[in-house]
A and B are shown apart, each in its own frame.
Chain A
Amino acid sequence: MPETTIHQPVEKPRNPHIENFKNIVKRLKKNKAAMVGGFLILLFVITAFVGPYLVPFSAGEQVLVNKLQGPSAEHWFGTDHLGRDIFSRIIHGMSITLYIGFFSVVIGAIVGVIFGIISGYFGGKIDTLIMRAMDILLAFPGILLALGVVTILGPSLNNVIIAVGVFSVPSFARIVRGSTLSVKELEYIDAVRALGASDFRIIVRHVLPNVFSPIIVQATLRIATAILTAAGLSFLGLGAQPPKPEWGAMLSDGRNYIFDAGHVALFPGLAIVIVVLAFNIFGDGLRDALDPKMKS
């Protein structure tokens, strides 16, 4: 006779937060794009911290006799109009780019998520009010809003972060509102309400964790947009100010020498493309892994 008593093995208690995180990682691992993008981003972050100590030149080191040289063994990406090593400057600029991308999105996300959740959860007049305000912000196409903010605050790196942050607020607010609305419809929200949970508890414990995926996905993709916008502002001379090795500003310099030395504009631009690409790839992968229903 085979063993008939059903023996239920006692499982180890599991920490749900760790389990949730493990699940995300497991799904991400299956997604090649996300893995590639994530690896690149990790590489960039490391570069931002360590890179400046490894490159042969400092960001501001000028050797005027060597100005506008093409790529060589000594200057991999050539030199600019002041004879500075472009490769070294790009590596120095990595941290600026990531800094702008990250913090502007954090600002935009925090404000946008708060607006979006309140709007979606409570609905009614407050929803109309917030969404009309977002419409007004959205009425300024992209960079125009950032331009306005920079005009008020004056050109500087931190002001660019605020400007780009403000301009990401509506997109977060809209996405979070939409997700909140659909989560709110689910029966488990009614179930906790029927148990007597307060609105605050429902929002923090039940709505927020379940709209988290679209927020993360949006944040990743928004970093890409933020980097592009910030570079654009700097290119126009309204962002990071020389001699900071900001890539947009470097491009702006390069533009003046495009007839004689194309490489001055080529490499900072390529750097932007590659970093933005990495965030876009990672964001796409995250979306496929976490939130397959969300569209680009």
Chain B
Amino acid sequence: MTTKLLEINNLKQYFPIKGGIFGRTVNHVKAVDDVSFYVNEGETLSIVGESGCGKSTTGRAVLRLDDPTSGEITFQGDDLLALNKQQMRRKRKDLQIIFQDPYASINPRQTVRQILEEAMSIQKVLPKAERMDKIMELLDTVGLGSHQLDRFPHEFSGGQRQRIGIARALAVDPKFIVCDESVSALDVSIQAQVLNLLKQLQRDLNLTYLFIAHDLGVVRHISDRVAVMYLGKIVEIGEKKEIFDNPKHPYTKSLLSAIPVPDPSNQQERIHLKGDVPSPIDPPTGCRFHTRCPFATEKCKNEVPELRVTKDMTGTHQAACHHIEEIESGAKQPNY
């Protein structure tokens, strides 16, 4: 029986743009615009998309690192947005985050021991006397040696720093972790080490991940379900297998086809996308993808498509496109 650990409804995150003569808010960056999804206990939901699609903003809003403009965030039945500052601080014990940049994400002036000790003392995990044992255990868990306890971040490589960041998140025994591009700054060989570690931790500690990434290879490897975002909206969501093997949204398809395959004898047909991603300040009307979509029609320009199920989708698969059926049947041809 799967239970929903986290549920997001109609999340919006608008950042004001100041301007004009009096420096008033003249416009908004609609970074996340009406997004709903849930994460089941023990699973990994990935959010993928290109830069500026709002995936990181979503992750930060879930943790209330930036307070969202509107929406509902329910974690284990509690409405996170209704908590006051104090209550939220306590709640943070359950929700943690692992960042992208192994250099900027740990305080250069603290040793590993201080970093982990501080995490525990903020959330009052364990009595003081027992914390040392836990620190040693954490180091072992993430694959660092106990002899590295009193070292400073600059004495570690990027991959090892990322392990410190993981240990810090684990120090408070969280249930849920947002991994915000947690492996994208690492070299391939190190990235594989960290990915394996994250998978193993999930099994051992029954963790739930919201995994934010732009690399579809990484996403395929780590996820149970995947949500694809484009310009602040989820365009497609579903089980990993469905998204990768049975994508329905033209954006998902073109994204998958754009990635170079590391196999010279198996190069695939590419769907070409015109131009750049439009600005989230003034996003296109109707379907936000219509300006670049090879299948766009008048309807796409005017009506916002909702996430929906079509007949050959399985599981929880949904996509937000008006023309899924016509494209599938070949009735609609791409218009380059």
Q: Which of B122-155 contact A (CB under 8 A)?
A: 122-123, 145-147, 149-150, 152
Q: Is the interface of B mostly helix, strand, loop or mixed?
A: loop
Picked from B65, B90, B104, B109, the residue with its CB within 8 Å of the CB of A16 is B109
Q: Is the interface of A mostly helix, strand, loop or mixed?
A: helix
B97 interface contact, C-beta 8 A? yes
When C-beta atoms are compared, the residue in chain A nearest to B95 turns out to be: A194
A198 interface contact, C-beta 8 A? yes
A8 adjacent to B92 (CB under 8 Å) = no
Picked from B89, B99, B105, B168, the residue with its CB within 8 Å of the CB of A196 is B89
With A14-B150, A193-B65 in contact, is A206–B89 under 8 Å at CB? no
A13 interface contact, C-beta 8 A? yes
* Nearest CB of A to B207, in Å: 15
Picked from A20, A186, A191, A205, the residue with its CB within 8 Å of the CB of B168 is A191
A20 to B147, CA, bound (A): 19
When C-beta atoms are compared, the residue in chain B nearest to A186 turns out to be: B104
* Nearest CB of A to B150, in Å: 4
Report the number of A-B residue pairs with Cβ-Cβ less than 8 Å. 83
With A16-B114, A19-B152, A190-B99 in contact, is A197–B122 under 8 Å at CB? yes
B105 adjacent to A195 (CB under 8 Å) = no
A196 adjacent to B92 (CB under 8 Å) = yes
Which 6 residue pairs across A and B have the least CB separation, nearest first? A196-B92, A187-B105, A196-B89, A187-B99, A14-B150, A186-B104
Picked from B95, B100, B150, the residue with its CB within 8 Å of the CB of A13 is B150
Q: Mark A175-200, 1 if CB is under 8 A from B, else 0.
A: 00000000000111011111111100
* Nearest CB of A to B178, in Å: 8
A binding-site residues for B, Cβ under 8 Å? 8-14, 16, 19-20, 186-188, 190-198, 201, 205-206, 209-210
B165 interface contact, C-beta 8 A? yes
A12 to B150, CA, bound (A): 8
A16 adjacent to B99 (CB under 8 Å) = no
B106 interface contact, C-beta 8 A? yes
A192 to B97, CA, bound (A): 10
B122 adjacent to A209 (CB under 8 Å) = no
B binding-site residues for A, Cβ under 8 Å? 60, 63, 65, 88-93, 95-97, 99-101, 104-111, 114, 118-119, 122-123, 145-147, 149-150, 152, 165, 168, 172
> Which residues of A are found within 8 Å of B165, using beta-carbon distances?
191
When C-beta atoms are compared, the residue in chain B nearest to A201 turns out to be: B122
A190 to B105, CA, bound (A): 8
> Which residues of A are found within 8 Å of B63, using beta-carbon distances?
194
* Nearest CB of A to B318, in Å: 30
> Which residues of B are found within 8 Å of A190, using beta-carbon distances?
60, 65, 97, 99
> Which residues of B are found within 8 Å of A205, using beta-carbon distances?
118
Pairs across A and B, CB under 8 Å, 30 listed = A8-B147, A10-B146, A10-B147, A11-B149, A13-B150, A16-B110, A19-B152, A186-B105, A187-B100, A187-B101, A187-B105, A188-B105, A188-B106, A188-B107, A190-B60, A191-B97, A191-B99, A191-B105, A191-B168, A192-B122, A193-B65, A194-B95, A194-B97, A195-B168, A195-B172, A196-B89, A197-B118, A205-B118, A209-B109, A210-B107
